Structure 1
Amino acid sequence: MRVPLSWLREYVDLPAGVTGREVAELLVRAGLEVETVDEGGAGLTGPLVVGRVLTFEPEPQKNGKVIRWCSLDVGNDEPQWVVCGASNFGVGDLVVVVLPGAVLPGGFAISARKTYGHVSNGMICSTAELGIGDDGKGGILVLGADEAKPGDDAIELLQLREDVLDIAVTPDRGYCLSIRGVAREAATAYGVPLKDPAALELTGAGKGGYPVEVEDAQANPVFVTRTVTGIDPTAPSPRWLQQRLALAGMRSISIGVDITNYVMLELGQPIHGYDKARLAGDIVVRRAIAGEKLVTLDDQTRELDPEDLLITDDSGPIGIAGVMGGASTEISASTTDVVIEAAHFDAITIARSSRRHKLSSEASRRFERGVDPALPRYAAQRVADLLAELAGGTITPDETIIGEPAVAEPVTIPVSHAAKVAGAPISDADAVSFLEAVGCKVEAAGTDLTITAPSWRPDLRDPNDFAEEVIRLYGYDNVPSVLPPAPGGQGLTGSQRRRRRIATALVGAGLTEVVAYPFVGEADFDALGLPADDERRTTVRLANPLSDEEPSMQTTLLPGLLRTAERNVGRGTTDLALFQTSLVFLPKATDMAVAAPLPSVAQRPSDEELLALDAALPHQPLHLGVVLTGARVPAGWWGKALPVSWTDAVQVARTVALAVGVEPVLRNAERAPWHPGRCAEVSVGDTVIGYAGELHPKVCKAFGLPARSGAVELNLDALIEAAPASVTAEPFSSYPVAKEDVALIVPAETAADDVKAALVEGAGDLLEAIRLFDVYTGEQIGEGKKSLAFALRFRAADRTLTETEVAEARQAAVQVAVSRFGAVQRVG
């Protein structure tokens, strides 16, 4: 919001001579974010005066250009002669003349100089040359006949030295998207009364206005119209109005549009004007019907959504409520009768429509942040008054008023609440004074205050909201900084230690941790190739998503990780090893879902409220996601690059499990988005904790990743729950190890880990380690079979093992595999 200081002074008696930077400093202390202070006219020096055109002679030049040799009355005894290349002025017009010795904005020094065969003693100025915008005509600034006289100081007349505060308005301060709102803050900061621009005399009859029907009162609680007839559409906007709009960052369009924009900036209430002659029947406020379209004021045809709130008449939609009007009823150069709309719309409804159509307007920005619901009648009156004053219109007494603004519920808090929250010595009298300064109605009863928030502050609802208002006006810099005492001796929980151990193991293995957004959409699940009945497609939908394409919370980490990998691959980084730990959100069964309560912030939630809140939440296990792409080992003098394979993904899963002291069980599985036959199911005991392997080729293509990329997703909560409370180091034996290898032929569908477990069971305590080192299939062992070769290592803690002991242990291990899987020992 750009706020010219002169406009602010109209409603606040600022100290004489105070600068924009000084005002900005106080507003920042009060909690506003003043980004910059533009010092208009900085570096501008006179003489810059008003001149009247006495004569001019058109002189064609050899280059085809026609210049004018002009004489001007600038208040001196003799005429001032200048050369001018523009032609949009005539004899008798008042113009702005910069004389030799002056400096225009941008360091443009003016001197008498010879040009086009004449000595030009100055220059006639355009708005662009004066640094006050561009009138769009590319010509000389021509003043009104009654605005000034020759010789007047143009710097003062046009307010060329003007400080403008550029304020970044946060979502909870929507009222500051207006001069009225910022003036209120300035009046409070300086301790002076506010001259409220909305304090107007209402002349409407309260009935008989243009007929309006509102079908959705929740989304549109207040709708007001006034009618002004007989306006002159050709009447120019006065210079002061154009100047203020330009300083506020808006261009002048026409008298009708300029006035509605001016009132919106002044009061914060978006206004829309309709050409009454182009309205067809009653105005109806309703939701859109599927398939409806509207050409908006920006000449774009927009397909409407059933959730859009519309302004319609008998011809169909004529505007997206609170966002932008339609082209069919806009005020034009032939408009003489205007129907003024001033309404209050639900903030969420407007925000969703604005985001849905990617259409952020000045109106939607205000409605999204909350507009004073009590303003519509006053804003409509203000527009009507200006149309009558500046465009010669006649205000009809007829007025449409639908609905009433909601009144805030009173909140009772201890008078010392703000002081307690801030830990600062804020007196009771100051607390009451500060609350009244922001517009609250305060009633004291003993040690309690009953507070009613003003209509323009919908963000004030809870005790701490009012405490914040008191504290910010007291001054955040006056609140002492005190570090809270930290309880000692607690340290990390067991779960936290294991999570850190996992992250350390992954980083040590060469992986990089990333953080991705937790939002997904149906397109993500389609790209992963998930079946229609996959449980991961059942999601928790957000009420107000950042993007309509990703309206749900993640049920798997892979979409966000794969998009991160895709972004890096697209920028040339193809060798990636990324991991992320984050929550996934799994909705509970419908019959278990409950509505979440909204506890008060005045005290700690009760145990019942905490249980109810927990019951309303989805199940949120902690997951680990990993994606591997490109080369595992880059090419170099040592040889060719080693590409990532499914075995690398499986090894990452083993690394994670072993980091917390768990030996995982791996079995072949088929699950999207992994490649069939190259996907391992990872289990701990009887619990499946995730999957690892190579991504399906279609998934790699969908995300733009190299072929044979790998991925892992594990449920860390389940893994950590299965991990031992502590890991005990095994004593190391100094006696020699006995090495034995065994190859077993088993059915092809038998899991290698199951055979490994059988060997461990049969070998007994003498077995120190076991490792699968070869898998073979071929004609030598028959169809439907495979050979698994294991390296067994035997060792005793107290002696050197004999050949007999080793042989017996080896045979016992093989016997369990034979009896359990029908294994046949392979010889040779």
Structure 2
Amino acid sequence: MRVPVSWLRDYVDLPADLTTAALADRLTMLDLKLEEIDTVGAELSGPIVVGRVLSAEPEPQKNGKTINWCSVDVGEEHNADGNAPRGIVCGAHNFGPGDLVVVALPGSVLPGPFPISSRKTYGHVSDGMICSGAELGTTGDPDGIIVLPAGSAEVGDDAVALLGLRDDVLDLEINPDRAYALSMRGVARDAAIGYDVPFHDPADVALTADGSADGYPVVVEDTVACPVFVARTVTGFDPAAPTPRWMARRLELMGMRPISLAVDVTNYVMLELGQPIHGYDRAALRGPLTVRRGRPGEKVTTLDDVVRDVTPEDLLITDESGPIGLAGVMGGQATELSETTTDIVIEAAHFDAPTVARTARLQKLSSEASRRFERGVDTALPPYAAQRVADLLVAFGGGVIEPGATVVGGPPAQPQVTLGEDLPARISGVDIPAATAVTALEANGCTVEHDGGTLTVVPPTWRPDLTDSYDMVEEVLRYVGYDKVPSLLPHAPAGRGLTPEQRLRRRVGQVMAGAGYVEVKTFPFAGPADFDKLGLADDDLRRDQVLLENPLSAEEPGLTTTLMSGAMKALALNVGRGHDDVAIFETGRVFFPKPEAPEAPIYGVDRAPSAEESAALDAALPEQPQHLVLVATGRRERAGWWGDGRRVQWGDAIEAVRRVTEAVHVPVHVEAGVIPAPWHPGRTAIVSVCGEVVGYAGELHPRVCRAYGVPARTVGAEIDLDAVVSASPVLGPRPAFSTYPVAKEDVAVVVASDVPSADVAQALVEGGGDLLESVRLFDVYTGEQVPAGHKSLAFALRMRAPDRTLTEAETAEVRAAAVARAAELTGAVQRT
């Protein structure tokens, strides 16, 4: 929100010596954060004054151009010696003798910078420059030279001050809950609170509607989405009337381009009061204005010349011809104000914030009006805003205001909020007497009743964000000053910290970072297009999503069921920016809907939920396990003087998973099997923990790589991190450690080539019993000494007893039992 300081001073009696920087600091302490101070017109310097053209003689030139040799009176102080007028050459022709113009005299500097001096041109010495709006950094007159209205200034007056060419403009960041500050009225009210000075409300206008006469007919079908609709009519308006210079300049300072008087007045009042206004050409209207929802198949052409399909969720303004505007967002082209409009119907309505926000999002159309309505506009303002627009139109464009007015509905009743008189002090730690709290709330427009130790507060209509007692505390603190609140760190209670599960999950992140992977954080949203890219079947359970009520994007309407889609998007983004070697990981939650889950109850914020209420909330939540995903492409080991590099392979993904499971002390089982999308069916392993499948690791399917635009042979893994962590012995009873020495034995067995080594290792563990501490594969051999179609697997066995040193006979017995079980389950034959 841009706030010209000169305009702000019209509504609040700020101290004369107050600097712009000090004002910005005070508004920031009132929760209107400063983005920057724009010193408009800072490039202008030197004498820039009002002059009167005494003569303007056209002189054709050899190049075909005609210039005017002008004699200009710039006042006794600025004229030439002997009070002689200045001679100035000008190429524009939209002025003549007797006109008041703006003259930049020698020694002045215009934006550019463009210094002005006396110089010889076209056979004359031009002693200054007659200025256009563009040369002064403003719009000025569309035909060129600025011509001031007769009697609006005296010769020799300072044109910079007269035209408002130099001003300080505050650019404020307005929080979504402070929609009232998207207006000069709202900022001025806060400034008056900050400096405890009088506030002059620009909405304090006299309503001239005659209660015995009706205004333009209006029908409101949806009174929830449109509780208030006011219409006033101005007839006999002059569409050629110019916008006053002061108004056009203020619009420019606010970042708007002046268009025409009728349009400029509606924009001006919106910026002044915060109430969006729309004007209709009454000659183009067909029957009553109707506020209703959209119907299938309807279309509307908005002011930006776009034909838009209407949805049943859109709130429309219609007449007998159909839709003529998106309510609260943008008007329609069919009834817009034009250069022939003489009768204007003024609309000042209040539209429901969620309805406008939904329409703006569905239509992908954000406007100055929608940005205000979707944050909350003063519900009592429409009659006064309509009157203000009508008054300005008549004052500068002629015509008359019809005596009738249409007023449909009225502002909803404001809620009552009750709080203890000591609550602001208890929350803030500042000694705030009850009288100070009452004064602070009343300064913000609230009505306060102080009964004993209780304050009963009714917030003003322009503050829809004040809904509970803690909102009131915040308003009191704004008045007292946030800088008065002490900064005290709370004492951490003893005996608390990270849970064992949290420590294990952090260990996983450290292991992944140590393995060369970079952590990323992606949005937890996905849609059908994401699942299509991953190649998921139509009946894949991962397509069953928890859908969002108001998704940020229509393409991603639900919570994700797999982290792989977000990881692949992040990988594609990095590859697209020229990174050839990328290895990333993410830990986050995925969401699976519960079948027949109850609807989540909504409780108040005045107390903590009970155990039963918390259980009801938990029952309505979806399943949301924590997952780990990783993807990598490019070179795993770079080439250099030390040797050849190596590209990432499917085994690297499996190794990363092994490192994670080892970090949390969980044995992992890796095997081949039926592999679902998005994995390569022949280069991906099934990852299991304690007999339960927890994920997959290996190479991604070529179609998936093409869909995301990443290199072929990209590898990745996704596992259920909650399942892995919960299997960690760290979370169980403390294990017993034997102090007796370990006995080591090696064994080699021959099995068929298609038998997974993991199956053989598992069989050895089962056969070895409690005395077998660990089994590790250290060699795989195929060659002449092994039958065709077979392979030799060598395992290192570690055996230990908790209460004694094992004898040779006992170790031999364990070894024999382990080999026997492997022979029984996998057909293994011991090599001798």
TM-score class, shorter-chain normalisation, is over 0.9
Tell me whether 1:339 sits opposite 2:341 in the alignment: no
Q: 1:606 aligns to what?
A: 610
Tell me whether 1:119 sits opposite 2:125 in the alignment: yes
Give, in whole Å, the separation in 2 of the partners of 1:364 and 1:257. 17
Q: 2:403 aligns to what?
A: 397
Calculate the aligned-residue CA RMSD, in Å. Answer: 2.6
Name the SS for the 2:240 alignment partner.
Answer: coil
Q: Which string of whole-angstrom CA distances, capped at 9 and with x for unpartnered residues, describes residues 599-640 of structure 1?
A: 22x443333433333333322221111112222222334544
1:50 and 1:151 in contact (8 A); partners too? yes
Aligned partner of 1:451: which letter?
A: V
Contiguous gaps of at least 5 residues in structure 1: none
Q: Which string of whole-angstrom CA distances, capped at 9 and with x for unpartnered residues, describes residues 364-411 of structure 1?
A: 111121111111111111111111221112211222222222122101
Report the alpha carbon displacement of residue 185 of structure 1 after superposing the two structures with TM: 0.6
Aligned residues: 818
Give, in whole Å, the separation in 1 of the partners of 2:43 and 2:597. 70
Pick from 742, 750, 759: which aligns with 2:749?
742
Aligned partner of 2:117: which letter?
A: S
Aligned partner of 1:618: which letter?
A: P
Name the SS for the 1:719 alignment partner.
Answer: helix
Give, in whole Å, the separation in 2 of the partners of 1:158 and 1:70. 23
Q: 2:718 aligns to what?
A: 713
TM-score, length of structure 1 as denominator length: 0.93
Matches within 5 A, 1:481-500: 481-500=487-506
Report the alpha carbon displacement of residue 17 of structure 1 after superposing the two structures with TM: 3.6
Q: 1:722 aligns to what?
A: 727
Q: 1:51 aligns to what?
A: 51
Aligned partner of 2:767: which letter?
A: G
Name the SS for the 1:816 alignment partner.
Answer: helix
Give, in whole Å, the separation in 1 of the partners of 2:701 and 2:586. 21
Give, in whole Å, the separation in 2 of the partners of 1:175 and 1:775. 78
Tell me whether 1:141 sits opposite 2:146 in the alignment: yes
Name the SS for the 2:405 alignment partner.
Answer: strand
Q: 1:657 aligns to what?
A: 661
Give, in whole Å, the separation in 1 of the partners of 2:157 and 2:773. 105
Aligned partner of 2:238: which letter?
A: D
Q: 2:450 aligns to what?
A: 444
Aligned partner of 1:507: which letter?
A: A
Structure 1 residues 683 and 824, CA gap change in structure 2 (3 angstroms): closer
Q: 2:238 aligns to what?
A: 232
Structure 1 residues 808 and 647, CA gap change in structure 2 (3 angstroms): same
Aligned partner of 1:756: which letter?
A: A
Q: 1:172 aligns to what?
A: 177
Name the SS for the 1:327 alignment partner.
Answer: coil
Q: 1:464 aligns to what?
A: 470
Aligned partner of 2:477: which letter?
A: I
Q: 1:816 aligns to what?
A: 821
Report the alpha carbon displacement of residue 772 of structure 1 after superposing the two structures with TM: 6.8
Q: Which moved more, 1:101-110 or 1:640-649?
A: 101-110
Report the alpha carbon displacement of residue 706 of structure 1 after superposing the two structures with TM: 1.6
1:312 and 1:319 in contact (8 A); partners too? yes
Structure 1 residues 95 and 280, CA gap change in structure 2 (3 angstroms): same
Report the alpha carbon displacement of residue 728 of structure 1 after superposing the two structures with TM: 5.2
Give, in whole Å, the separation in 1 of the partners of 2:477 and 2:607. 19
Give, in whole Å, the separation in 1 of the partners of 2:774 and 2:155. 106
Report the alpha carbon displacement of residue 188 of structure 1 after superposing the two structures with TM: 0.9
Q: 1:26 aligns to what?
A: 26
Give, in whole Å, the separation in 2 of the partners of 1:368 and 1:288. 19
Name the SS for the 1:172 alignment partner.
Answer: coil
Tell me whether 1:150 sits opposite 2:155 in the alignment: yes
Q: 1:215 aligns to what?
A: 221
Name the SS for the 1:482 alignment partner.
Answer: coil
Matches within 5 A, 1:375-454: 375-454=381-460
1:574 and 1:630 in contact (8 A); partners too? yes
Tell me whether 1:130 sits opposite 2:116 in the alignment: no
Structure 1 residues 271 and 470, CA gap change in structure 2 (3 angstroms): same
Give, in whole Å, the separation in 2 of the partners of 1:507 and 1:777. 39
Give, in whole Å, the separation in 2 of the partners of 1:342 and 1:579. 53
Aligned partner of 1:326: which letter?
A: G
Give, in whole Å, the separation in 2 of the partners of 1:423 and 1:509. 48
Q: 1:100 aligns to what?
A: 106
2:749 and 2:828 in contact (8 A); partners too? no
Name the SS for the 1:666 alignment partner.
Answer: strand
Structure 1 residues 160 and 135, CA gap change in structure 2 (3 angstroms): closer
Q: 2:79 aligns to what?
A: none
Q: 2:548 aligns to what?
A: 542
Pick from 590, 593, 616: which aligns with 1:587?
593
Q: 2:700 aligns to what?
A: 695
Matches within 5 A, 1:337-376: 337-376=343-382
Q: 1:514 aligns to what?
A: 520
Give, in whole Å, the separation in 2 of the partners of 1:610 and 1:799. 54
Q: Which moved more, 1:686-695 or 1:762-771?
A: 762-771
Q: Which string of whole-angstrom CA distances, capped at 9 and with x for unpartnered residues, describes residues 278-331 of structure 1?
A: 112222222223343322212222333332222222222211111111111100
Q: Which moved more, 1:201-210 or 1:322-331?
A: 201-210
1:597 and 1:612 in contact (8 A); partners too? no
Q: Which string of whole-angstrom CA distances, capped at 9 and with x for unpartnered residues, describes residues 140-191 of structure 1?
A: 1111123123223323322333222222211111101111101101111121
Pick from 790, 793, 809: which aligns with 1:789?
793
Aligned partner of 2:172: which letter?
A: I
Report the alpha carbon displacement of residue 734 of structure 1 after superposing the two structures with TM: 6.7
Report the alpha carbon displacement of residue 205 of structure 1 after superposing the two structures with TM: 4.1
Tell me whether 1:631 sits opposite 2:635 in the alignment: yes
Tell me whether 1:325 sits opposite 2:331 in the alignment: yes
Give, in whole Å, the separation in 2 of the partners of 1:186 and 1:743. 87
Structure 1 residues 254 and 796, CA gap change in structure 2 (3 angstroms): closer
Give, in whole Å, the separation in 2 of the partners of 1:599 and 1:237. 51
Name the SS for the 1:398 alignment partner.
Answer: coil
Name the SS for the 1:164 alignment partner.
Answer: strand
2:750 and 2:790 in contact (8 A); partners too? no
2:3 and 2:171 in contact (8 A); partners too? yes
Give, in whole Å, the separation in 2 of the partners of 1:148 and 1:270. 34
Structure 1 residues 616 and 452, CA gap change in structure 2 (3 angstroms): farther
Give, in whole Å, the separation in 2 of the partners of 1:81 and 1:315. 60
Structure 1 residues 776 and 596, CA gap change in structure 2 (3 angstroms): farther
Name the SS for the 2:304 alignment partner.
Answer: coil
Name the SS for the 2:178 alignment partner.
Answer: helix
Aligned partner of 2:681: which letter?
A: P
1:669 and 1:680 in contact (8 A); partners too? no
Pick from 733, 748, 759: which aligns with 2:764?
759
Give, in whole Å, the separation in 1 of the partners of 2:10 and 2:375. 25
Tell me whether 1:5 sits opposite 2:9 in the alignment: no
Q: 1:86 aligns to what?
A: 92
Aligned partner of 2:656: which letter?
A: V
Contiguous gaps of at least 5 residues in structure 2: 77-82
Give, in whole Å, the separation in 2 of the partners of 1:696 and 1:437. 66
Name the SS for the 1:27 alignment partner.
Answer: helix
Report the alpha carbon displacement of residue 811 of structure 1 after superposing the two structures with TM: 4.1
Give, in whole Å, the separation in 2 of the partners of 1:635 and 1:806. 47
Give, in whole Å, the separation in 1 of the partners of 2:350 and 2:69. 56
Structure 1 residues 720 and 795, CA gap change in structure 2 (3 angstroms): closer
Give, in whole Å, the separation in 1 of the partners of 2:73 and 2:234. 41
Structure 1 residues 211 and 737, CA gap change in structure 2 (3 angstroms): same
Q: Which moved more, 1:752-761 or 1:722-731?
A: 722-731
1:104 and 1:130 in contact (8 A); partners too? yes
Name the SS for the 2:177 alignment partner.
Answer: helix
Name the SS for the 2:165 alignment partner.
Answer: coil
1:599 and 1:609 in contact (8 A); partners too? no
Name the SS for the 1:34 alignment partner.
Answer: strand
2:133 and 2:140 in contact (8 A); partners too? yes
Give, in whole Å, the separation in 2 of the partners of 1:729 and 1:820. 30
Q: 1:72 aligns to what?
A: 72
Aligned partner of 2:272: which letter?
A: E
Pick from 284, 291, 295: which aligns with 1:285?
291
